[in-house]
A and B are shown apart, each in its own frame.
Chain A
Amino acid sequence: MKVYSIESLHDAFQSGKVEPKDYYQQIYKEAQFQQKRLNAFAYTTFGKAEKDLKNADFQNILSGIPYVLKDNLCTQNIYTTASSRMLEDYIPTYNAHVVDLLERQGCCLIGKSSMDELGMGFTNMTALTGPVYNPWDVSRIAGGSSGGSAALVASGLIPFALGSDTGDSIRRPAGYCGVVGMKPTWGRVSRYGLIPYASSLDTIGALTRNVRDMAIVMKNISGHDHRDMTSSFQSVPRYFHHLSLDISHLKIAFFKNIYDSLTDLQMKKIFDDMVVLLKQQGAKVDEIDFPERYLKSLVPVYNIIANGESTSNHACLDGIKYGMREDEKSIEDIVIQSRSRGFTKSTQQRFILGMLVLKEENQEKMFRKSQKVRRLIVEELNHIFQHYDLIISLNSDSIAPHIQDAMKKSSSLVDAQLLLANLAGLPSLTLPCGFVDDMPVAINLTGRLFEEQTVLNCAYALENVLPFKNQYVRGDHFEI
């Protein structure tokens, strides 16, 4: 099966070089092969894709393009499990807003992708259907929580997939799998129909194999939706049309204390090379300090807020109205036993710790305290963004861990930096930028609120001078 980007597949369909029905037959066959290798689908939806394809007129850029949705995005009459046993047989009666938008464009859904249960995790090891394997080395994790989406895009099966990002859940697996991943500004993309994790941090975004495709997808899923109270009224620029390789006017910062925390010399060298490339293109790049006390508080603030909000959000999963239901003699026993058997142990721990911070006597000293520190962190960031257009860092301090080591990996300062974009609601993009031990390494670029275009342009300029655009890996050999 030949691999296409969104743009090249659109051209191939429009010009008649590729017969859509034949191509989709190849996709279905390849999907089965990749599923055996990667375990990245929660479900395949080939019947749905066939129907979508019949409605495609191939006139606009996304018409007839195959894609995959993370399984926490509601799809009418199609299972949506959020990779949780609790929702194993849940079939929504409505579409998420982003699904409606992509269907209107004529996209063809070929499946729902595996994820960490309810979006909680960075390994994709807690999915109901088991771990997702990294396409570059199947003994390693794809990362999470949007691991299925990242692995399938990296395999070349589809040119794009949607994911969600609450802490790093698009960008972490994108980096581990060597694809482009982007979370937009909070409020830019409607969260209507997203099974939530933590509402003040959740965003829906995309994974692609190049920046031009990312600009296309982000434009098409962004914009106001009255069904999401936090959806922004800000107009959405035509990202694709405004893409520019000229970044000579940009002022870019990176945090010296995070850079100094890097111990792997190969990773450090890759980051150094990125700084040189940016400077060669005229951008001004400075190293600055971010207060150490705030860096150390990133993970605590995130954990307290995310656990608290998710505990509240998922109180509705009670086994009564929908989802898994254990047969018990009282309503309370139904709720307790359904939740205890329906959620993984790690998710249950998050809910219990969430309950701790939400208890009346703890709210001020734990939950409100974390929200106050969140404000201090965000104010510090805003101060930096008065002087700089972008903040950059490595996406992680390591390549994707082996499966047996994944749960042992603790969050480094580099990893924790990805949380900044969620705490402050900023647009943030991860771009492949190198290899260590034959595994992909990525750089992360974070910009000001609603300035997705600046983030995309800088990524576009970097991608243009790097050899990783459109990379994918199919099986036991690398293809670039």
Chain B
Amino acid sequence: MKDIEFLKQLAYDARLSISDEDMPSLIDAYKDFMDQIQILEDIETEGVEPLVFPFESQNYYLRLDDVEDIMEVDDVLKNAKEVQEQQVKVPKVVNS
């Protein structure tokens, strides 16, 4: 029961809704995943820096903060389901 509530909250955090029907397979996946995490706990990593990318490289750089490769507004809106006055339309968010 504790796992179910916890997993429902995690699903909500990921903006997903898990049905009761799908919960057993999620619980199995969760338990399997926790077993995998346990395997790593047995490895000593004191003083080891995390490796974020596969290797450290001199190539990585932050480009200058100049505007380039602009996407036109019409292009941005082409895949939106509802558009009004050059903007993506969503349900009202402020109560009247």
Task: Pick out which of these stretches binds chain B: A140-148, A204-212, A269-277, A352-360.
Answer: A352-360
CB-defined contacts of A404 to chain B, threshold 8 Å? none
Q: Mark A310-352, 1 if CB is under 8 A from B, else 0.
A: 0100010011111101001111101111011001010011011
What does DSSP make chain A's interface, helix, strand, loop or mixed? helix
Q: B25 contacts the other chain (Cβ, under 8 Å)?
A: yes
Q: A123 contacts the other chain (Cβ, under 8 Å)?
A: no
CB-defined contacts of A14 to chain B, threshold 8 Å? none
**Residues A359 and B43 in contact in the complex (CB < 8 Å), given A371-B50, A378-B55:** no
Q: Mark B53-95, 1 if CB is under 8 A from A, else 0.
A: 1110101111100000101000110111110000010110100
Task: Pick out which of these stretches binds chain B: A27-35, A170-178, A259-267, A295-303.
Answer: A295-303
Q: Is the CB of A299 within 8 A of B51?
A: no
CB-defined contacts of B14 to chain A, threshold 8 Å? 311, 339, 348, 351-352, 354-355
Q: Is the CB of B75 within 8 A of A424?
A: no
CB-defined contacts of A374 to chain B, threshold 8 Å? 50-51
CB-defined contacts of A296 to chain B, threshold 8 Å? 39
Q: B2 contacts the other chain (Cβ, under 8 Å)?
A: no
Q: B1 contacts the other chain (Cβ, under 8 Å)?
A: no
Q: Is the CB of A352 within 8 A of B43?
A: no
> How many A-B Cβ pairs are below 8 Å?
165
Q: How far is the CA of A353 from the CA of B60 in the complex (A)?
A: 29
CB-defined contacts of A353 to chain B, threshold 8 Å? 29-30, 33
Shortest Cβ distance from B55 into A: residue: A425
Q: How far is the CA of A353 from the CA of B39 in the complex (A)?
A: 16
Shortest distance from the beta carbon of A25 to any chain B beta carbon, whole Å: 33
CB-defined contacts of A293 to chain B, threshold 8 Å? 42-43
Shortest distance from the beta carbon of A148 to any chain B beta carbon, whole Å: 23
Q: How far is the CA of A320 from the CA of B49 in the complex (A)?
A: 38
Pick the contact of B7 from A89, A229, A311, A352 — CB < 8 Å? Answer: A352
Q: Mark A441-461, 1 if CB is under 8 A from B, else 0.
A: 000000001000000000000
Interface size class of B (residues with CB under 8 A): 35 or more
Q: How far is the CA of A318 from the CA of B79 in the complex (A)?
A: 13
Q: Is the CB of B63 within 8 A of A297?
A: no
Interface size class of A (residues with CB under 8 A): 35 or more
Q: Is the CB of B40 within 8 A of A301?
A: yes
Q: Is the CB of A299 within 8 A of B11?
A: no
Q: Is the CB of B22 within 8 A of A336?
A: no
CB-defined contacts of A378 to chain B, threshold 8 Å? 51, 54-55
Q: Is the CB of B50 within 8 A of A232?
A: no
**Residues A336 and B15 in contact in the complex (CB < 8 Å), given A296-B39, A321-B79:** yes
Shortest distance from the beta carbon of A330 to any chain B beta carbon, whole Å: 6
**Residues A299 and B57 in contact in the complex (CB < 8 Å), given A200-B52, A348-B16:** no
Q: A15 contacts the other chain (Cβ, under 8 Å)?
A: no
Q: Is the CB of A234 within 8 A of B59?
A: yes
Q: Is the CB of B79 within 8 A of A372?
A: no
What does DSSP make chain B's interface, helix, strand, loop or mixed? loop
Q: Is the CB of B40 within 8 A of A300?
A: yes
CB-defined contacts of B43 to chain A, threshold 8 Å? 293-294, 297, 373, 376
Q: How far is the CA of A229 from the CA of B63 in the complex (A)?
A: 8
Q: B10 contacts the other chain (Cβ, under 8 Å)?
A: yes
Q: How far is the CA of A233 from the CA of B60 in the complex (A)?
A: 9
Pick the contact of B54 from A94, A200, A334, A343 — CB < 8 Å? Answer: A200
Q: Is the CB of B18 within 8 A of A352?
A: yes
Q: How far is the CA of A231 from the CA of B2 in the complex (A)?
A: 45
Q: How far is the CA of A227 from the CA of B48 in the complex (A)?
A: 32
CB-defined contacts of A91 to chain B, threshold 8 Å? 78-79
Q: A105 contacts the other chain (Cβ, under 8 Å)?
A: no
CB-defined contacts of A345 to chain B, threshold 8 Å? 22, 25
Shortest Cβ distance from A364 into B: residue: B50
Q: How far is the CA of A372 from the CA of B3 in the complex (A)?
A: 28
Q: A368 contacts the other chain (Cβ, under 8 Å)?
A: yes
**Residues A351 and B36 in contact in the complex (CB < 8 Å), given A328-B91, A424-B55, A425-B55:** no
Q: Is the CB of A321 within 8 A of B48?
A: no
**Residues A330 and B36 in contact in the complex (CB < 8 Å), given A91-B79, A187-B59, A449-B55:** no
Interface residue ranges, A against B (CB under 8 Å): 89-91, 93-94, 186-187, 200-201, 226-227, 229-234, 293-294, 296-297, 299-301, 303-304, 311, 315, 318-323, 325, 328-332, 334-337, 339-340, 343, 345, 348-349, 351-356, 359, 365-366, 368-376, 378, 422-426, 449
Q: Could you list 27 examples of A-B contacts with CB < 8 Å? A: A89-B79, A90-B79, A186-B54, A293-B42, A296-B39, A297-B40, A300-B36, A315-B15, A325-B81, A332-B15, A339-B14, A340-B17, A349-B29, A352-B16, A352-B30, A355-B10, A359-B10, A359-B13, A370-B40, A371-B50, A372-B45, A372-B50, A375-B48, A375-B49, A375-B50, A376-B45, A449-B55
10 A-B pairs with least C-beta separation: A425-B54, A371-B50, A322-B79, A300-B36, A375-B51, A372-B45, A93-B75, A355-B14, A325-B81, A372-B48
